Amino acid sequence: MAKLYFYYASMNAGKSTNLLQADFNYRERGMATMLFTAAVDDRFRPGTITSRIGLEAPATPFDAQTDLAACVASQHAADPLACVLVDEAQFLTGIQVAQLARICDSMGIPVLAYGLRTDFQGRLFEGAARLLAIADSLVEIKSVCVCGRKATMNLRVDAEGNPIAEGKQTEIGGNDRYLALCRRHFTEALAS
């Protein structure tokens, strides 16, 4: 039986690198995969999953209106898929997460979704919340805080490195905008 996996972590934990390695493993064995990435993430080339260590692969961009199940069904009919991989899964809608579950349950294709669990205020993203609720397997990818503890929080900072506590949930950025911290250092940074 195919399963829905949710690999979650804070920023800079290697989620995209892990996804690209999993994709490589399938393809190396001659198995077809389909990759998705959030269209809103425009840090790199559109339609590309890019890791901080320089790995990349083409992917189908998705937004809130994308019917992932229809995309996968179409591709699967043309070239049977062994796996579907989704980067930036926090940006999925609840309906899209249900579509991913249907891909597993009805089409028999495993789905590996990678994303953030929480935003810069420590609140769940819609996609992450739904994945945490219905995924068959939850896997935390570890990242490290400046103190050496496990980083679980994403601190948003301004251009000068000052913590930001208010704002819209989604603001695309990398090391220039976010720091992965343990809960203690996250809380202390916001209190200062």
In the numeric block, which tokens belong to residue 12? Answer: 């800079």
Rounded Cα distance between 91 and 166, Å, is 19
Rounded Cα distance between 106 and 121, Å, is 36
Residue 184 has φ and ψ, to the nearest 5°, of: -60, -50
Rounded Cα distance between 63 and 116, Å, is 16
Q: From the candidates 28, 56, 88, 140, which is the catalytic residue? A: 88
Asked whether 69 and 119 are in contact (CB, 8 A), the reply is: no
- 88 carries an active-site annotation: yes
Rounded Cα distance between 161 and 177, Å, is 8
* Active-site amino acid positions: 88
